[in-house]
Amino acid sequence: MIFCGLDLAVKKEDVLVKIIDVNLYHKIIKIFECKDLMKLVNEIMDCDVLAVDSPFSLSIGYRSVDKEMIKEGFRVFPPNFIKDLVKKNLNLLDLLKEKGFKGSIVETHPRSSEKASKIDREMIMRVINHPLSRDEADAFLCALTAIAFKKRISKIFKAEDGEIHILSDQAFSLLNQFVNKKIIIERFRC
């Protein structure tokens, strides 16, 4: 299976992390930095699950689902505060639909995943034995959330206007699947 995490950006390059399960002992992590949205869409097409760090809808002020996260102590921006990012995500979702994307797509928030799971950038870098930028670590957390979604162990915030998946305290089991494995890390620009 291929699990993907996407850290979308407006002024910087988008970062996509693909975690490919080759077998029990071997994983491939592909890191893409993309400026071109169509090239990014092409890289996403083979993902089984995609977790995106961006709201899936616009609203004036906080959505009900955002308020649910805030009640639990997580800090999120209202979608209208990051309107350009949300519009880019909506465009991406439309392009994926037009191209016939068959996988699942979930909204996530890596900072909240980090807080809930206690898995931070330093820990990820130690486990995979490879340096990551903050954006790459966020995309990696999104990819872990895609795995958690598939395994039905993500923490879910749900309201009439959306659903957000983050890592739960069970996420260490997901990170442990990288320990003592052959990990190949490949980097690409698109």
Quote the tokens at residue 79: 């979608």
Q: What is the pLDDT of residue 44?
A: 98
Confidence band for 10, pLDDT divided at 50, 70 and 90: very high
23 vs 12: CA distance, rounded Å: 34
What does R_g of the chain's alpha carbons equal in angstroms?
15
* 91-102: pLDDT as tens digits: 999 999 999 999
Quick check: 174 and 148 in contact, CB under 8 A?
yes
Q: Which is nearest to 177 in space by CA: 55, 50, 20, 24?
A: 24
SS (HEC) of 45-84: CCCCEEEECCCCCCCCCCCHHHHHHHHCCCCCCCHHHHHH
User: Taking the CB of residue 47, how many other CB atoms lie within 10 A of it?
Assistant: 26
Q: What is the pLDDT averaged over residues 156-162?
A: 97
Kindly state the helix (H) or strand (E) to which residue 182 belongs, with its residue range: strand 182-189
What is the domain partition of the chain in residue ranges?
2-189
Q: Residue 52 in contact with residue 89, Cβ under 8 Å? A: yes
Per residue in 105-134, pLDDT (tens digit) is 999 999 999 999 999 999 999 999 999 999
The pTM is what? 0.95
14-59 confidence digits (pLDDT tens): 999 999 986 777 899 999 999 999 999 999 999 999 999 999 999 9
d(CA 45, CA 57): 22
From CA 86, how far away is CA 185, in angstroms rounded? 29
> What number is the average pLDDT over the span 157-165?
97
Taking 80 as the threshold, does the pLDDT of residue 139 lie above it?
yes
Judge whether 15 and 140 are in contact, CB under 8 Å.
Answer: no
Instruction: Tell me the CATH number for domain 2-189.
Output: 3.30.420
Structure tokens at 13: 């390059």
pLDDT reading at 77 higher than 80: yes
Average of per-residue pLDDT across 52-78: 95
